[in-house]
Amino acid sequence: MPAGVVADTFAAAGPVAKPATVKQSIPAIAVAAASAFGGILYGYDTGTISGLLAMENFRETFGQFYPVNKPSNTGSVPVPGYDLSTGNTSLVTSILSAGTFCGALLGAPLSDKLGRKLGLQVGLIIFNIGVVLQLATTNLDAFIVGRVVAGLGVGILSTIVPMYQSEVAPRWIRGTVVSGYQWAITIGLFIASLANNGTKDRTNSSSWRIPVGIQLVFSLILSAMFIVLPESPRWLVKRGNHAGAAKSLARLNSTDSDDPLVRSELSVIQTNLDIELTHGNGTYVDCFKANDRKYLLRSMTGIWLQAWQQLTGVNFIFYYGTVFFSNALPGTNPFIFSIISNVVNVVCTLPGMWAMERFGRRKLLIWGAVYMAVCEFIVAIVGTTIDTRLNSAAGKAMVAFVCIYISGFASTWGPAAWVVCGEIFPLAIRAKALSLCVASNWLWNFGIGYATPYLVQSGPGKAGLGPKVFFIWGATCSCAALFGYLFVVESKGLSLEEVDELYAQTTPRQSAAANREIIARRTDLEGGVAHPKDDEDATADEKKY
């Protein structure tokens, strides 16, 4: 049986020590959770631009005057005034993602060469430079350059943070902890909506400079955190620093370097790394090798998971939500609806964090996509068949189903895509493969952010789809559900090394059963003593299956 092969692999690494207790695991959980703070930068920087585009001083500073036919970016009747052209609106919104695409790829060599901690500090320095450039200019081109530079920093962080979390978090709660990164992203989006709403009525440049400048505070907090956090023990093993790895593992498990638990885990990590290195040297080329360890399948799974996450259409709301809500319910304050949608995003991520370990990654991805597709088709049908300017009830229904859709994303694809990408890659190629996944996320983020105004707005060279664009998002969510069924392996409750062996010995649709067998065999190797959470999950699985 596949799980038997996995168990034999770990038996060969030496005696298996009794796993850490919940109390002993608290430092590891705290470290992984603290590092999730990096998601706030991601979310805040993504969410700020939606409000800036609606601020009068921002449009006066970076836009141009239209004496008669001002472009209707806000959905209102064209009137004389300052505004950004459709092209500049698309560029300012999406150019961050172009920088983050490059930054995500840069995160791999930085984290492999300098370590997870120092690599992240470099990313923060680059991010701060980009923010200062945005604050110091009144020239659109310079502001765009600042967005690109800040994007480089965010891209580096978005590669390193989930990788670091996966490498330090205990296996029995890794999904929940790594989901905290997505939760932090939602909190960042929410704070951005509050900051925008708080400064929108200012008539000078502080209306947009304050929301932009707040990012420096978050950056300094994260930098201070990572000064005191331990280095990833798996990276230290990869660098041959076993003494440092033992010290880091001991700190994460509230014990000392001579503890059998530490020695056993180090032995497993090193044994698995030795096996991985027989299949390549950990290069980008190795990520696409169709070998018996299924590197190609894993890389393409991660790359397309991040692509489908963006193609669910969620960033349409967070980039252009202010515009959408003002169109759906004319005469109301669109900033309030933006805040409401972000509250839904934050709150509904919490049940997703719980469900990650209760139901597993695979089920959340499949059924979450189905749920979102239904909501988006409803929004598209209502918006296409009813004029919401004449029927406020229809407009309220659209807004309601958008919020219901966001709840589905927040509790499934939002966190699950990051969790899966953080744990499916072997140590030898983890940094490079994960950087490709994150780069895919930002590439699609850029494409969707740039194309959406042309898809939604009317006029020469524009599709004028309006709410019909939700038919596209509904169709892509349907494809995402099929992708999850065909390609996602269930990795709930396994160590990163066990996930590696699971991929080598099973197929995605066999993985749930193999997952349960691995946990059972591991319990036997540990002398019949499993982690309390493993016992609880195994009992629940018996009831379900």
d(CA 335, CA 197): 6
Chain segment 471-507, per-residue pLDDT in tens: 999 999 999 999 999 999 998 888 888 888 888 888 8
Task: Assign 10 a pLDDT band (cuts: 50, 70, 90).
Answer: very low
The HSE-up count of residue 522 (CA atoms within 13 Å, CB side) is 28
Residue 246 domain flag: no
The whole-number average pLDDT for the span 43-47 is 84
Chain segment 256-275, per-residue pLDDT in tens: 888 888 888 888 888 888 88
What backbone phi and psi angles, to 5 degrees, belong to 187? Answer: -65, -40
Closest CA to 353 of 176, 518, 178, 503: 176
The whole-number average pLDDT for the span 355-366 is 92
The whole-number average pLDDT for the span 146-168 is 91
Closest CA to 499 of 430, 449, 450: 430
Task: Assign 540 a pLDDT band (cuts: 50, 70, 90).
Answer: very low
pLDDT(4) > 60: no
CB 148 within 8 A of CB 95: yes
pTM of the complete model: 0.80
Residue 242 domain flag: no
| Higher pLDDT among residues 370 and 57, named by residue | 370
Task: Estimate to the nearest angstrom the gap between the alpha carbon of 32 and the chain centroid.
Answer: 15
Q: Which two tokens stand for residue 139?
A: 């020239």
The whole-number average pLDDT for the span 244-256 is 89
Q: Is 65 exposed, middle or buried (0-12, 13-18, 19+ CB in 10 A)?
A: exposed
Q: What is the DSSP string of 117-143?
A: HHHHHHHHHHHHHHHHHHHT---HHHH
Q: What is the DSSP string of 174-228?
A: HHHHHHHHHHHHHHHHHHHHHHHHHHTT--STHHHHHHHHHHHHHHHHHHHHHHH
Chain segment 427-450, per-residue pLDDT in tens: 889 999 999 999 999 899 888 877
d(CA 292, CA 505): 9
Longest dimension (CA), the chain: 80
Instruction: Quote the pLDDT of residue 23.
Output: 67
Closest CA to 165 of 152, 178, 149: 178
Residue 248 domain flag: no
Residue 96 domain flag: yes
d(CA 393, CA 382): 10
Residue 247 domain flag: no
Closest CA to 10 of 526, 358, 448: 526
Residue 245 domain flag: no
Write the CATH number for 477.
1.20.1250.20
- Tell me the residue type at 55: M
Closest CA to 512 of 479, 545, 478: 545
Q: Which domain holds residue 449?
A: 2-14+25-236+253-544
Q: Which of 78-92, 221-235, 305-319 has the lowest mean pLDDT?
A: 78-92
| Higher pLDDT among residues 114 and 272, named by residue | 114
Number of domains observed in the structure of the chain: 1
Q: Are strands 64-66 and 81-83 parallel, antiparallel or unpaired?
A: antiparallel
CB 35 within 8 A of CB 531: no
Residue 497 domain flag: yes
* % of residues, the chain, pLDDT over 70: 87
CB 24 within 8 A of CB 253: yes
Closest CA to 395 of 450, 329, 447: 329
Contacts for 108 with CB less than 8 Å, ≥ 6 apart? 159, 431, 432, 434, 435
Chain segment 277-317, per-residue pLDDT in tens: 787 778 899 999 888 889 999 999 999 999 999 999 887 77
CB 51 within 8 A of CB 192: yes
pLDDT(542) > 70: no
Element (H, E) at 381: helix 361-385
Instruction: Quote the pLDDT of residue 405.
Output: 94
Calculate the average pLDDT of the chain.
83
What backbone phi and psi angles, to 5 degrees, belong to 279? Answer: -105, 5
Instruction: Quote the pLDDT of residue 63.
Output: 75
The whole-number average pLDDT for the span 387-397 is 84
Alpha-carbon Rg for the chain in angstroms = 24
| Higher pLDDT among residues 516 and 99, named by residue | 99
pLDDT(24) > 80: no
> DSSP state, 351?
H
* % of residues, the chain, pLDDT over 90: 39
Q: Which two tokens stand for residue 276?
A: 């991985």
Task: Assign 218 a pLDDT band (cuts: 50, 70, 90).
Answer: very high
Q: Is 464 exposed, middle or buried (0-12, 13-18, 19+ CB in 10 A)?
A: exposed
d(CA 41, CA 57): 24
Element (H, E) at 521: helix 511-525
Residue 187 domain flag: yes
Contacts for 271 with CB less than 8 Å, ≥ 6 apart? 9, 10, 12, 13
